[in-house]
Structure 1
Protein backbone atom coordinates (compact mmCIF):
# COMPACT_ATOMS: atom_id res chain seq x y z
CA UNK A 1 0.00 0.00 0.00
CA UNK A 2 2.93 2.32 0.64
CA UNK A 3 4.12 1.98 -2.96
CA UNK A 4 0.65 2.25 -4.52
CA UNK A 5 0.09 5.67 -6.02
CA UNK A 6 -3.18 4.78 -7.75
CA UNK A 7 -5.29 4.31 -4.62
CA UNK A 8 -6.34 0.85 -5.75
CA UNK A 9 -4.72 -0.86 -2.77
CA UNK A 10 -6.81 1.28 -0.43
CA UNK A 11 -9.99 0.35 -2.30
CA UNK A 12 -8.96 -3.29 -2.13
CA UNK A 13 -8.45 -2.98 1.61
CA UNK A 14 -11.90 -1.41 1.96
CA UNK A 15 -13.42 -4.41 0.15
CA UNK A 16 -11.53 -6.78 2.46
CA UNK A 17 -12.92 -4.88 5.46
CA UNK A 18 -16.45 -5.23 4.04
CA UNK A 19 -15.82 -8.96 3.55
CA UNK A 20 -14.48 -9.56 7.05
CA UNK A 21 -17.27 -7.43 8.55
CA UNK A 22 -19.72 -9.88 6.99
CA UNK A 23 -18.09 -12.74 8.90
CA UNK A 24 -18.08 -10.73 12.14
CA UNK A 25 -21.76 -9.75 11.74
CA UNK A 26 -22.67 -13.43 11.21
CA UNK A 27 -20.82 -14.32 14.41
CA UNK A 28 -22.83 -11.69 16.27
CA UNK A 29 -26.15 -12.76 14.73
CA UNK A 30 -25.51 -16.43 15.56
CA UNK A 31 -24.38 -15.42 19.08
CA UNK A 32 -21.19 -17.46 18.83
CA UNK A 33 -18.82 -17.08 21.78
CA UNK A 34 -15.51 -15.71 20.47
CA UNK A 35 -12.31 -15.58 22.50
CA UNK A 36 -10.43 -13.38 20.02
CA UNK A 37 -10.18 -12.39 16.39
CA UNK A 38 -6.72 -12.54 14.84
CA UNK A 39 -6.03 -10.49 11.73
CA UNK A 40 -3.69 -12.30 9.35
CA UNK A 41 -2.21 -11.65 5.95
CA UNK A 42 -4.92 -13.67 4.18
CA UNK A 43 -8.02 -12.91 6.21
CA UNK A 44 -8.99 -13.38 9.82
CA UNK A 45 -8.82 -16.29 12.21
CA UNK A 46 -11.66 -16.51 14.69
CA UNK A 47 -10.74 -18.29 17.90
CA UNK A 48 -13.80 -19.55 19.76
CA UNK A 49 -14.07 -19.52 23.54
CA UNK A 50 -13.12 -22.85 25.07
CA UNK A 51 -16.05 -25.26 24.94
CA UNK A 52 -17.86 -23.36 22.16
CA UNK A 53 -18.90 -25.47 19.20
CA UNK A 54 -20.24 -24.45 15.82
CA UNK A 55 -22.60 -26.68 13.87
CA UNK A 56 -22.01 -27.43 10.21
CA UNK A 57 -24.99 -25.27 9.26
CA UNK A 58 -23.59 -22.39 11.30
CA UNK A 59 -20.17 -22.89 9.69
CA UNK A 60 -21.77 -22.70 6.24
CA UNK A 61 -23.44 -19.40 7.17
CA UNK A 62 -20.24 -18.03 8.70
CA UNK A 63 -18.19 -18.99 5.65
CA UNK A 64 -20.61 -17.45 3.16
CA UNK A 65 -21.27 -14.25 5.16
CA UNK A 66 -18.13 -12.49 3.91
CA UNK A 67 -18.96 -13.18 0.26
CA UNK A 68 -22.54 -12.11 0.88
CA UNK A 69 -21.33 -8.81 2.35
CA UNK A 70 -19.22 -8.11 -0.76
CA UNK A 71 -22.01 -9.05 -3.15
CA UNK A 72 -24.62 -7.07 -1.20
CA UNK A 73 -22.33 -4.04 -1.27
CA UNK A 74 -22.47 -4.29 -5.07
CA UNK A 75 -26.17 -3.39 -5.13
CA UNK A 76 -25.94 0.22 -3.89
CA UNK A 77 -22.60 0.65 -5.67
CA UNK A 78 -24.20 -0.41 -8.95
CA UNK A 79 -27.05 2.04 -8.45
CA UNK A 80 -24.61 4.85 -7.66
CA UNK A 81 -22.48 3.94 -10.67
CA UNK A 82 -25.49 3.87 -13.01
CA UNK A 83 -26.50 7.34 -11.84
CA UNK A 84 -22.95 8.62 -12.34
CA UNK A 85 -22.33 9.20 -8.64
CA UNK A 86 -18.74 8.65 -7.59
CA UNK A 87 -17.49 8.00 -11.11
CA UNK A 88 -14.41 5.80 -11.43
CA UNK A 89 -14.20 5.33 -7.64
CA UNK A 90 -17.67 3.77 -7.47
CA UNK A 91 -17.08 1.59 -10.52
CA UNK A 92 -13.76 0.32 -9.18
CA UNK A 93 -15.22 -0.37 -5.74
CA UNK A 94 -18.11 -2.24 -7.39
CA UNK A 95 -15.70 -4.34 -9.44
CA UNK A 96 -13.42 -5.10 -6.49
CA UNK A 97 -16.35 -6.20 -4.31
CA UNK A 98 -17.68 -8.39 -7.10
CA UNK A 99 -14.26 -9.96 -7.69
CA UNK A 100 -13.47 -10.52 -4.00
CA UNK A 101 -16.88 -11.99 -3.22
CA UNK A 102 -16.89 -14.15 -6.34
CA UNK A 103 -13.31 -15.34 -5.91
CA UNK A 104 -13.94 -16.37 -2.31
CA UNK A 105 -16.98 -18.38 -3.38
CA UNK A 106 -14.80 -20.81 -5.31
CA UNK A 107 -15.11 -24.30 -3.80
CA UNK A 108 -11.41 -24.41 -2.97
CA UNK A 109 -9.53 -25.37 0.18
CA UNK A 110 -8.99 -22.31 2.41
CA UNK A 111 -11.49 -20.06 0.61
CA UNK A 112 -14.97 -19.40 1.99
CA UNK A 113 -16.67 -21.45 -0.71
CA UNK A 114 -14.42 -24.38 0.15
CA UNK A 115 -15.18 -24.03 3.86
CA UNK A 116 -18.91 -23.94 3.17
CA UNK A 117 -18.73 -26.95 0.84
CA UNK A 118 -16.57 -28.86 3.32
CA UNK A 119 -19.16 -28.32 6.06
CA UNK A 120 -22.00 -29.28 3.73
CA UNK A 121 -20.20 -32.47 2.65
CA UNK A 122 -19.51 -33.36 6.28
CA UNK A 123 -23.27 -33.21 6.86
CA UNK A 124 -23.88 -35.62 3.97
CA UNK A 125 -20.98 -38.06 3.82
CA UNK A 126 -17.90 -39.46 5.53
CA UNK A 127 -14.70 -37.45 5.84
CA UNK A 128 -12.68 -39.49 3.31
CA UNK A 129 -15.20 -38.80 0.57
CA UNK A 130 -15.56 -35.15 1.58
CA UNK A 131 -11.77 -34.72 1.59
CA UNK A 132 -11.45 -36.32 -1.84
CA UNK A 133 -14.16 -34.07 -3.32
CA UNK A 134 -12.61 -30.90 -1.85
CA UNK A 135 -9.15 -31.82 -3.13
CA UNK A 136 -10.39 -32.62 -6.65
CA UNK A 137 -12.42 -29.41 -6.86
CA UNK A 138 -9.47 -27.40 -5.56
CA UNK A 139 -7.25 -28.80 -8.30
CA UNK A 140 -9.91 -28.20 -10.95
CA UNK A 141 -10.10 -24.54 -9.94
CA UNK A 142 -6.38 -24.13 -9.27
CA UNK A 143 -5.20 -25.05 -12.75
CA UNK A 144 -7.14 -22.39 -14.73
CA UNK A 145 -6.58 -19.81 -11.97
CA UNK A 146 -2.82 -20.38 -12.14
CA UNK A 147 -2.81 -20.35 -15.94
CA UNK A 148 -4.78 -17.10 -16.06
CA UNK A 149 -2.63 -15.58 -13.33
CA UNK A 150 0.64 -16.34 -15.06
CA UNK A 151 -0.79 -15.23 -18.41
CA UNK A 152 -1.70 -11.86 -16.87
CA UNK A 153 1.81 -11.53 -15.41
CA UNK A 154 3.34 -12.24 -18.81
CA UNK A 155 1.03 -9.73 -20.54
CA UNK A 156 1.33 -6.89 -18.03
CA UNK A 157 4.77 -7.55 -16.62
CA UNK A 158 3.67 -6.50 -13.15
CA UNK A 159 0.15 -7.64 -12.18
CA UNK A 160 0.84 -10.64 -9.97
CA UNK A 161 -2.48 -10.64 -8.05
CA UNK A 162 -4.09 -13.70 -9.62
CA UNK A 163 -0.80 -15.61 -9.82
CA UNK A 164 -0.22 -14.91 -6.12
CA UNK A 165 -3.76 -16.13 -5.37
CA UNK A 166 -3.02 -19.34 -7.29
CA UNK A 167 0.17 -19.86 -5.29
CA UNK A 168 -1.80 -19.26 -2.08
CA UNK A 169 -4.40 -21.87 -3.14
CA UNK A 170 -1.63 -24.33 -4.04
CA UNK A 171 0.10 -23.90 -0.67
CA UNK A 172 -3.21 -24.29 1.17
CA UNK A 173 -3.89 -27.43 -0.87
CA UNK A 174 -0.50 -28.91 0.02
CA UNK A 175 -1.00 -28.10 3.70
CA UNK A 176 -4.54 -29.52 3.66
CA UNK A 177 -3.40 -32.73 1.98
CA UNK A 178 -1.10 -33.31 4.95
CA UNK A 179 -3.99 -32.99 7.41
CA UNK A 180 -7.18 -34.95 7.89
CA UNK A 181 -10.49 -33.23 7.19
CA UNK A 182 -12.22 -32.50 10.46
CA UNK A 183 -15.74 -33.84 10.08
CA UNK A 184 -17.13 -33.72 13.59
Structure 2
Protein backbone atom coordinates (compact mmCIF):
# COMPACT_ATOMS: atom_id res chain seq x y z
CA UNK A 1 0.00 0.00 0.00
CA UNK A 2 1.28 3.44 -0.93
CA UNK A 3 2.16 5.95 1.79
CA UNK A 4 2.70 3.17 4.31
CA UNK A 5 5.79 3.02 6.53
CA UNK A 6 7.21 -0.41 7.29
CA UNK A 7 7.61 -0.94 11.04
CA UNK A 8 9.12 -4.42 10.84
CA UNK A 9 8.19 -8.09 10.53
CA UNK A 10 6.19 -10.24 12.94
CA UNK A 11 6.20 -13.99 12.25
CA UNK A 12 7.06 -13.28 8.62
CA UNK A 13 4.25 -10.71 8.22
CA UNK A 14 5.24 -7.15 7.28
CA UNK A 15 3.71 -4.61 9.69
CA UNK A 16 3.08 -1.21 8.12
CA UNK A 17 1.74 2.10 9.39
CA UNK A 18 -0.08 4.40 7.01
CA UNK A 19 1.10 8.01 7.16
CA UNK A 20 -2.48 9.18 7.69
CA UNK A 21 -2.38 7.41 11.06
CA UNK A 22 0.47 9.70 12.09
CA UNK A 23 -1.60 12.68 10.97
CA UNK A 24 -4.47 11.41 13.13
CA UNK A 25 -2.14 11.11 16.13
CA UNK A 26 -0.92 14.68 15.64
CA UNK A 27 -4.47 16.02 15.21
CA UNK A 28 -5.88 14.33 18.32
CA UNK A 29 -2.84 15.30 20.39
CA UNK A 30 -3.31 18.93 19.31
CA UNK A 31 -7.06 18.93 20.07
CA UNK A 32 -6.62 17.28 23.49
CA UNK A 33 -3.76 19.64 24.36
CA UNK A 34 -5.78 22.71 23.43
CA UNK A 35 -8.71 21.44 25.50
CA UNK A 36 -6.89 20.25 28.63
CA UNK A 37 -3.17 20.94 28.43
CA UNK A 38 -0.19 18.90 27.29
CA UNK A 39 -0.66 16.21 29.95
CA UNK A 40 -4.16 15.54 28.66
CA UNK A 41 -2.75 15.47 25.13
CA UNK A 42 -0.16 12.84 26.07
CA UNK A 43 -2.76 10.67 27.81
CA UNK A 44 -5.03 10.84 24.75
CA UNK A 45 -2.06 9.96 22.54
CA UNK A 46 -1.24 6.95 24.73
CA UNK A 47 -4.86 5.77 24.61
CA UNK A 48 -4.95 5.95 20.81
CA UNK A 49 -1.68 4.01 20.51
CA UNK A 50 -2.96 1.30 22.88
CA UNK A 51 -6.25 1.06 20.97
CA UNK A 52 -4.34 0.50 17.74
CA UNK A 53 -2.24 -2.17 19.45
CA UNK A 54 -5.56 -3.90 20.08
CA UNK A 55 -6.44 -3.40 16.39
CA UNK A 56 -3.10 -5.00 15.47
CA UNK A 57 -3.92 -7.98 17.70
CA UNK A 58 -7.30 -8.18 15.94
CA UNK A 59 -5.55 -8.42 12.56
CA UNK A 60 -2.96 -10.87 13.87
CA UNK A 61 -5.79 -13.14 14.99
CA UNK A 62 -7.14 -13.10 11.42
CA UNK A 63 -3.63 -13.82 10.14
CA UNK A 64 -3.00 -16.67 12.60
CA UNK A 65 -6.12 -18.56 11.53
CA UNK A 66 -5.31 -17.83 7.86
CA UNK A 67 -1.85 -19.35 8.24
CA UNK A 68 -3.34 -22.36 10.03
CA UNK A 69 -5.42 -22.95 6.91
CA UNK A 70 -2.33 -22.71 4.69
CA UNK A 71 -3.04 -19.19 3.41
CA UNK A 72 -0.13 -16.77 3.17
CA UNK A 73 -0.40 -13.32 4.75
CA UNK A 74 1.77 -10.68 3.13
CA UNK A 75 1.27 -7.65 5.37
CA UNK A 76 -0.82 -5.85 7.96
CA UNK A 77 -1.35 -2.10 7.51
CA UNK A 78 -2.65 0.11 10.32
CA UNK A 79 -4.99 2.84 9.05
CA UNK A 80 -6.90 5.57 10.90
CA UNK A 81 -10.09 3.51 10.47
CA UNK A 82 -8.53 0.22 11.62
CA UNK A 83 -6.28 -2.51 10.28
CA UNK A 84 -6.00 -4.27 6.93
CA UNK A 85 -4.46 -7.73 6.53
CA UNK A 86 -3.34 -8.47 2.97
CA UNK A 87 -3.56 -12.17 2.06
CA UNK A 88 -1.75 -13.63 -0.94
CA UNK A 89 -4.43 -16.32 -1.19
CA UNK A 90 -8.14 -15.89 -0.55
CA UNK A 91 -10.16 -18.47 1.39
CA UNK A 92 -12.76 -20.07 -0.85
CA UNK A 93 -14.23 -22.64 1.51
CA UNK A 94 -17.08 -20.98 3.46
CA UNK A 95 -16.01 -22.65 6.71
CA UNK A 96 -12.48 -21.24 6.40
CA UNK A 97 -13.65 -17.71 5.66
CA UNK A 98 -16.08 -17.80 8.61
CA UNK A 99 -13.37 -18.95 11.02
CA UNK A 100 -10.89 -16.35 9.74
CA UNK A 101 -13.48 -13.56 9.94
CA UNK A 102 -14.61 -14.43 13.48
CA UNK A 103 -11.03 -14.69 14.81
CA UNK A 104 -10.61 -10.90 14.87
CA UNK A 105 -13.68 -10.02 16.98
CA UNK A 106 -12.93 -13.04 19.19
CA UNK A 107 -9.50 -11.54 19.99
CA UNK A 108 -11.15 -8.25 21.01
CA UNK A 109 -13.70 -10.04 23.21
CA UNK A 110 -10.92 -11.98 24.96
CA UNK A 111 -9.07 -8.69 25.58
CA UNK A 112 -12.29 -7.06 26.81
CA UNK A 113 -12.91 -9.97 29.19
CA UNK A 114 -9.40 -9.73 30.62
CA UNK A 115 -9.60 -5.94 30.92
CA UNK A 116 -13.08 -6.15 32.43
CA UNK A 117 -11.92 -8.50 35.17
CA UNK A 118 -8.92 -6.26 35.87
CA UNK A 119 -11.12 -3.16 35.84
CA UNK A 120 -13.64 -4.65 38.27
CA UNK A 121 -10.78 -5.32 40.71
CA UNK A 122 -8.93 -2.01 40.31
CA UNK A 123 -11.72 0.48 39.56
CA UNK A 124 -15.08 -1.23 40.28
CA UNK A 125 -16.92 2.11 40.20
CA UNK A 126 -16.01 2.57 36.49
CA UNK A 127 -16.48 -1.03 35.38
CA UNK A 128 -19.85 -0.47 33.68
CA UNK A 129 -19.64 3.20 32.77
CA UNK A 130 -18.98 3.67 29.02
CA UNK A 131 -16.03 6.01 28.59
CA UNK A 132 -13.42 6.89 25.99
CA UNK A 133 -10.86 9.23 27.52
CA UNK A 134 -7.16 9.36 28.18
CA UNK A 135 -8.09 10.15 31.79
CA UNK A 136 -9.45 6.59 32.24
CA UNK A 137 -7.13 4.33 30.26
CA UNK A 138 -8.20 0.95 31.63
CA UNK A 139 -11.94 1.59 31.29
CA UNK A 140 -11.45 3.14 27.85
CA UNK A 141 -9.50 0.11 26.61
CA UNK A 142 -12.23 -2.21 27.93
CA UNK A 143 -14.99 -0.34 26.12
CA UNK A 144 -12.84 0.12 22.99
CA UNK A 145 -12.26 -3.63 22.62
CA UNK A 146 -15.90 -4.41 23.28
CA UNK A 147 -16.94 -1.80 20.69
CA UNK A 148 -14.43 -2.99 18.08
CA UNK A 149 -15.59 -6.58 18.46
CA UNK A 150 -19.32 -5.72 18.24
CA UNK A 151 -18.86 -3.22 15.39
CA UNK A 152 -16.95 -5.76 13.29
CA UNK A 153 -19.74 -8.32 13.72
CA UNK A 154 -22.18 -6.10 11.82
CA UNK A 155 -23.11 -7.83 8.52
CA UNK A 156 -21.77 -4.80 6.66
CA UNK A 157 -19.27 -6.10 4.11
CA UNK A 158 -16.25 -5.74 4.19
CA UNK A 159 -16.47 -5.84 8.00
CA UNK A 160 -15.96 -9.27 9.56
CA UNK A 161 -19.69 -9.85 9.94
CA UNK A 162 -20.10 -9.06 6.25
CA UNK A 163 -17.44 -11.63 5.40
CA UNK A 164 -19.35 -14.22 7.44
CA UNK A 165 -22.46 -13.29 5.43
CA UNK A 166 -20.53 -13.61 2.14
CA UNK A 167 -19.18 -17.03 3.20
CA UNK A 168 -22.70 -18.22 4.11
CA UNK A 169 -24.06 -16.98 0.77
CA UNK A 170 -21.18 -18.50 -1.24
CA UNK A 171 -22.24 -21.94 -0.01
CA UNK A 172 -25.55 -21.36 -1.78
CA UNK A 173 -24.57 -19.48 -4.95
CA UNK A 174 -21.65 -18.34 -7.12
CA UNK A 175 -18.80 -16.64 -5.20
CA UNK A 176 -19.03 -13.39 -7.19
CA UNK A 177 -22.80 -13.21 -6.81
CA UNK A 178 -22.42 -13.88 -3.07
CA UNK A 179 -19.92 -11.01 -2.90
CA UNK A 180 -22.29 -8.68 -4.76
CA UNK A 181 -25.13 -9.43 -2.36
CA UNK A 182 -22.91 -8.98 0.69
CA UNK A 183 -21.68 -5.69 -0.80
CA UNK A 184 -25.29 -4.55 -1.20
CA UNK A 185 -25.97 -5.23 2.49
CA UNK A 186 -22.73 -3.44 3.41
CA UNK A 187 -23.69 -0.39 1.39
CA UNK A 188 -27.12 -0.32 3.08
CA UNK A 189 -25.43 -0.19 6.50
CA UNK A 190 -22.99 2.42 5.19
CA UNK A 191 -25.89 4.67 4.15
CA UNK A 192 -27.48 4.19 7.58
CA UNK A 193 -24.23 5.38 9.18
CA UNK A 194 -24.09 8.43 6.92
CA UNK A 195 -27.76 9.36 7.48
CA UNK A 196 -27.46 8.77 11.23
CA UNK A 197 -24.38 10.96 11.42
CA UNK A 198 -26.08 13.74 9.47
CA UNK A 199 -29.20 13.61 11.66
CA UNK A 200 -27.17 13.59 14.87
CA UNK A 201 -24.68 16.12 13.46
CA UNK A 202 -21.80 13.75 14.28
CA UNK A 203 -18.78 13.54 11.96
CA UNK A 204 -17.42 10.07 12.72
CA UNK A 205 -20.53 8.04 11.67
CA UNK A 206 -20.48 9.87 8.34
CA UNK A 207 -16.77 9.15 7.85
CA UNK A 208 -17.21 5.49 8.81
CA UNK A 209 -20.19 5.13 6.48
CA UNK A 210 -18.32 6.64 3.53
CA UNK A 211 -15.27 4.43 4.18
CA UNK A 212 -17.39 1.26 4.44
CA UNK A 213 -19.25 2.20 1.23
CA UNK A 214 -16.00 2.81 -0.67
CA UNK A 215 -14.32 -0.31 0.74
CA UNK A 216 -17.32 -2.46 -0.23
CA UNK A 217 -17.12 -1.24 -3.85
CA UNK A 218 -13.37 -1.88 -3.93
CA UNK A 219 -13.75 -5.39 -2.50
CA UNK A 220 -16.41 -6.20 -5.08
CA UNK A 221 -14.06 -5.22 -7.90
CA UNK A 222 -11.29 -7.33 -6.36
CA UNK A 223 -13.60 -10.36 -6.05
CA UNK A 224 -14.73 -10.04 -9.69
CA UNK A 225 -11.13 -9.64 -10.85
CA UNK A 226 -9.97 -12.61 -8.75
CA UNK A 227 -12.74 -14.75 -10.21
CA UNK A 228 -11.75 -13.75 -13.74
CA UNK A 229 -8.07 -14.49 -13.03
CA UNK A 230 -9.00 -17.98 -11.89
CA UNK A 231 -10.89 -18.67 -15.13
CA UNK A 232 -8.00 -17.68 -17.40
CA UNK A 233 -5.07 -20.06 -17.90
CA UNK A 234 -1.44 -19.20 -18.55
CA UNK A 235 -1.53 -20.93 -21.94
CA UNK A 236 -3.98 -18.21 -23.03
CA UNK A 237 -1.74 -15.27 -22.07
CA UNK A 238 1.83 -16.64 -22.22
CA UNK A 239 4.34 -15.42 -24.78
CA UNK A 240 5.16 -18.20 -27.25
CA UNK A 241 7.57 -16.18 -29.39
CA UNK A 242 10.56 -15.45 -27.18
CA UNK A 243 14.33 -15.72 -26.98
CA UNK A 244 16.21 -18.04 -24.64
CA UNK A 245 19.88 -18.32 -23.72
CA UNK A 246 22.25 -21.20 -23.11
CA UNK A 247 24.53 -21.32 -20.05
CA UNK A 248 27.61 -21.04 -22.30
CA UNK A 249 26.43 -17.91 -24.12
CA UNK A 250 28.29 -14.69 -23.39
CA UNK A 251 26.74 -11.54 -22.06
CA UNK A 252 27.37 -9.97 -25.47
CA UNK A 253 25.04 -12.62 -26.94
CA UNK A 254 22.43 -11.72 -24.32
CA UNK A 255 22.65 -8.01 -25.18
CA UNK A 256 22.29 -8.73 -28.90
CA UNK A 257 19.16 -10.78 -28.31
CA UNK A 258 17.74 -8.15 -25.99
CA UNK A 259 18.23 -5.47 -28.65
CA UNK A 260 16.66 -7.53 -31.42
CA UNK A 261 13.73 -8.92 -29.42
CA UNK A 262 13.00 -6.05 -27.00
CA UNK A 263 12.97 -8.76 -24.35
CA UNK A 264 14.29 -7.83 -20.89
CA UNK A 265 14.44 -11.23 -19.16
CA UNK A 266 15.53 -14.58 -20.58
CA UNK A 267 15.07 -18.20 -19.56
CA UNK A 268 18.37 -20.10 -19.60
CA UNK A 269 17.94 -23.53 -21.16
CA UNK A 270 20.33 -26.50 -21.18
CA UNK A 271 19.45 -29.77 -22.93
CA UNK A 272 15.82 -28.77 -23.11
CA UNK A 273 15.52 -27.95 -19.38
CA UNK A 274 15.28 -24.54 -17.74
CA UNK A 275 18.29 -24.14 -15.46
CA UNK A 276 18.12 -20.43 -14.67
CA UNK A 277 16.88 -16.96 -15.55
CA UNK A 278 18.85 -13.92 -16.66
CA UNK A 279 17.09 -10.69 -15.81
CA UNK A 280 17.77 -7.20 -17.04
CA UNK A 281 18.93 -6.22 -13.54
CA UNK A 282 21.36 -9.13 -13.43
CA UNK A 283 22.69 -8.19 -16.84
CA UNK A 284 23.31 -4.58 -15.84
CA UNK A 285 25.00 -5.60 -12.58
CA UNK A 286 27.28 -7.96 -14.51
CA UNK A 287 28.35 -5.18 -16.88
CA UNK A 288 29.25 -2.92 -14.00
CA UNK A 289 31.52 -5.71 -12.74
CA UNK A 290 33.64 -7.80 -15.08
CA UNK A 291 32.07 -6.77 -18.37
CA UNK A 292 31.13 -8.48 -21.63
CA UNK A 293 33.24 -11.63 -21.43
CA UNK A 294 31.37 -13.35 -18.63
CA UNK A 295 29.20 -16.34 -19.45
CA UNK A 296 25.47 -16.38 -18.85
CA UNK A 297 25.95 -19.25 -16.42
CA UNK A 298 28.17 -17.09 -14.21
CA UNK A 299 25.56 -14.36 -13.72
CA UNK A 300 22.19 -16.09 -14.21
CA UNK A 301 19.87 -16.53 -11.26
CA UNK A 302 19.00 -20.02 -10.14
CA UNK A 303 16.30 -18.53 -7.91
CA UNK A 304 13.30 -18.91 -10.18
CA UNK A 305 9.86 -20.45 -10.30
CA UNK A 306 8.18 -22.37 -13.10
CA UNK A 307 4.54 -22.88 -13.96
CA UNK A 308 2.50 -25.33 -16.01
CA UNK A 309 0.53 -24.14 -19.01
CA UNK A 310 -2.67 -25.29 -17.29
CA UNK A 311 -2.05 -23.09 -14.24
CA UNK A 312 -4.39 -20.15 -13.75
CA UNK A 313 -3.48 -16.52 -14.21
CA UNK A 314 -4.00 -16.01 -10.47
CA UNK A 315 -1.54 -18.80 -9.62
CA UNK A 316 1.07 -17.37 -11.99
CA UNK A 317 0.69 -13.85 -10.62
CA UNK A 318 1.04 -15.12 -7.04
CA UNK A 319 4.25 -16.97 -7.93
CA UNK A 320 5.78 -13.86 -9.47
CA UNK A 321 4.80 -11.41 -6.74
CA UNK A 322 5.45 -13.68 -3.75
CA UNK A 323 9.18 -13.82 -4.53
CA UNK A 324 9.60 -10.55 -6.39
CA UNK A 325 10.28 -12.24 -9.77
CA UNK A 326 9.83 -10.74 -13.23
CA UNK A 327 9.87 -13.88 -15.42
CA UNK A 328 8.03 -17.18 -15.13
CA UNK A 329 8.93 -20.01 -17.55
CA UNK A 330 5.87 -22.06 -18.56
CA UNK A 331 6.43 -25.82 -18.97
CA UNK A 332 4.62 -28.79 -20.41
CA UNK A 333 6.07 -32.20 -19.58
CA UNK A 334 9.26 -30.45 -18.35
CA UNK A 335 9.62 -28.75 -21.78
CA UNK A 336 9.67 -24.95 -22.09
CA UNK A 337 6.64 -23.88 -24.14
CA UNK A 338 6.31 -20.21 -23.20
CA UNK A 339 7.09 -17.46 -20.74
CA UNK A 340 5.03 -14.96 -18.79
CA UNK A 341 6.50 -11.74 -17.50
CA UNK A 342 5.19 -9.51 -14.76
CA UNK A 343 4.55 -6.83 -17.38
CA UNK A 344 2.43 -9.01 -19.65
CA UNK A 345 0.50 -10.43 -16.66
CA UNK A 346 -0.25 -6.91 -15.46
CA UNK A 347 -1.50 -6.04 -18.93
CA UNK A 348 -3.79 -9.08 -18.83
CA UNK A 349 -5.05 -8.13 -15.37
CA UNK A 350 -5.73 -4.56 -16.54
CA UNK A 351 -7.76 -5.96 -19.44
CA UNK A 352 -9.69 -8.26 -17.12
CA UNK A 353 -10.43 -5.45 -14.66
CA UNK A 354 -12.04 -3.48 -17.49
CA UNK A 355 -13.97 -6.36 -19.04
CA UNK A 356 -15.06 -8.39 -16.00
CA UNK A 357 -15.46 -12.12 -15.53
CA UNK A 358 -18.78 -12.53 -17.38
CA UNK A 359 -17.63 -10.67 -20.51
CA UNK A 360 -14.33 -12.58 -20.60
CA UNK A 361 -16.24 -15.85 -20.40
CA UNK A 362 -18.47 -14.87 -23.33
CA UNK A 363 -15.44 -13.82 -25.40
CA UNK A 364 -13.78 -17.20 -24.79
CA UNK A 365 -16.87 -19.04 -26.06
CA UNK A 366 -16.91 -17.13 -29.38
Mark yes or no: TM-score above 0.5.
yes
Matched, 1:14 2:57: no
- Higher relative contact order at CA 8 Å, sep ≥6: structure 1 or structure 2? 1
Question: Which stretches in structure 2 are left out of the alignment for 5+ residues?
Answer: 1-24, 30-40, 127-135, 231-366
Residues 189, 209 of structure 2: 8 Å contact kept: no
1:17-67 C-alpha deviation (Å, 9 max, x unpaired)? 221121123234x25242622425352233337xx8653211211111111
Name whichever of 87-96 and 169-178 sits farther off.
169-178
Matched, 1:133 2:181: yes
From the two aligned structures, give the one with the greater helix fraction: 1
Q: Which has the larger radius of gyration?
A: 2
When normalised by structure 2's length, the TM-score is: 0.42
Matched, 1:84 2:122: yes
Question: Which stretches in structure 1 are left out of the alignment for 5+ residues?
Answer: none
Superposed CA RMSD in Å reads: 2.9
Residues in 2 aligned to 1:106 and 1:126: alpha-carbon distance in whole angstroms: 23
Residues in 2 aligned to 1:27 and 1:75: alpha-carbon distance in whole angstroms: 24
Q: In the alignment, what sits opposite 1:34? A: 72
Q: Quote how far apart the aligned CAs of 1:178 are.
A: 5.0
Partner of 2:142, secondary structure, is helix
Equivalent of residue 62 in structure 2, options 23, 27, 40: 23
Residues in 2 aligned to 1:129 and 1:47: alpha-carbon distance in whole angstroms: 21
From the two aligned structures, give the one with the greater strand fraction: 2
Residues in 1 aligned to 2:216 and 2:71: alpha-carbon distance in whole angstroms: 29
Matched, 1:67 2:105: yes
Matched, 1:46 2:46: no
Residues in 2 aligned to 1:45 and 1:151: alpha-carbon distance in whole angstroms: 33
**Are residues 129 and 44 of structure 1, via their aligned partners in 2, closer, same or farther at CA, if it must alter by over 3 Å?**
closer
Pairs aligned (count): 176
